[in-house]
Structure 1
């Protein structure tokens, strides 16, 4: 059940918001050997939020540089870039385009289409606002964290290895977390 058709966010400004890549990060985590988690990061190429009067009508477009994958293990990173996983030679970016936003049971949710490895699937990010503020150079900024869980196999990321003790090397569920800061672009 949807709680609202519009919301009031103190400090919200209409117009265009552009990602500040120096203060933004995309991270992920996945089960490894079914006993621990591997974490990694991607560089954000671009992200733009078009903010109309009603924040629930805002539109987001973002692009992530998959070639920048970093798990702190060069051999694993190279394997992730290969055709076994992201196939960065043919699919160097991951893309997100929002299709709507809503408040449900008090949570702010952003629905959209996520494209990984040329395969597009609907996803929902749970969004937490960090707030708004002015930096020392007079730029009006906003911060937010968004999180979702996807099944990597839905995006063609199916490589795995069976373990002698049972189970598999790489889990199916990937938690994606976006820590973002954006700057308002005056009209």
Structure 2
């Protein structure tokens, strides 16, 4: 039986270790969206009769994302929103928006976005994925930008992004007549993640 001499054994060990470390380094880090500390927000707005903007938010949501600054195209994101937590700062209106006329939150208490591809060009990031809302799943693109990343004061590491998107209510089976100026909803997602 042939045995390796110590110098060859050391070379093999060094090569194996280097390959393992380079593989680990190439993997994107996992981040938990800091919705508990509310360093994140999911907000929406829609025109009211074409005269003004109605603004609101979802108070409860969670999610995570994979991100590597050296390989942003290998990133991914997943966000789940509690539709019963809709808040437009008006209790009666919120009750109506949660009803079967709109979000049908009692039947579909969760909305979900899952990315399918992420591409970076210049200062912008196109996050393509699928949004499930009101029991309907459709493709959706979020135009995003990176705000920053780095160490936090508590020994952790964070990364933050902002993104905007819009969609027709009718695409998700919401056909309640709000008038011709109020058929499209605009959303802003500000997420800060803590590296796990």
1:129-140 counterparts in 2 under 5 A?
Answer: 129-140=146-157
3-state DSSP class of the match of 1:67?
Answer: helix
Cα separation, 2, equivalents of 1:44 and 1:55: 27
Matched, 1:93 2:107: no
Q: Aligned residue pairs: how many?
A: 167
What residue is the counterpart of 2:175 in the other structure?
158
Gaps of 5+ in 1: 1-12, 162-167
1:51 partnered with 2:67: yes
Q: Does 1:17 align with 2:31?
A: yes
Instruction: State the structure with more CA Rg.
Output: 2
Pick the structure with more helix per residue: 2
CA drift of 1:105 comes to 6.4
Matched, 1:119 2:141: no
**Does residue 83 in structure 1 map to residue 100 in structure 2?**
yes
Q: Secondary structure at the match of 1:171?
A: coil
CA contact (8 A) 1:126 1:147 kept: yes
Partner of 1:31: 47
Paired residue secondary structure (2:183): strand
Quote the residue 2:22 is aligned against.
none
Higher strand share: 1
Q: Give SS of 2:155's match.
A: coil
- CA drift at 1:169: 7.6
Cα RMSD of the aligned pairs, angstroms, is: 1.7
Instruction: Pick the aligned partner of 1:41 from 48, 57, 62.
Output: 57
TM-score scaled by structure 1?
A: 0.84
Matched, 1:74 2:91: yes
2:50 alignment partner, SS class: coil
> Is the CA contact (8 Å cut-off) linking 1:114 and 1:120 kept in structure 2?
yes
Which residues of structure 2 form unaligned runs of 5+?
1-26
Deviations 1:104-149 (A, max 9, x none): 4652110000010010111110111110122221110111101001
Report runs of 4+ in structure 1 exceeding 3 Å deviation: none
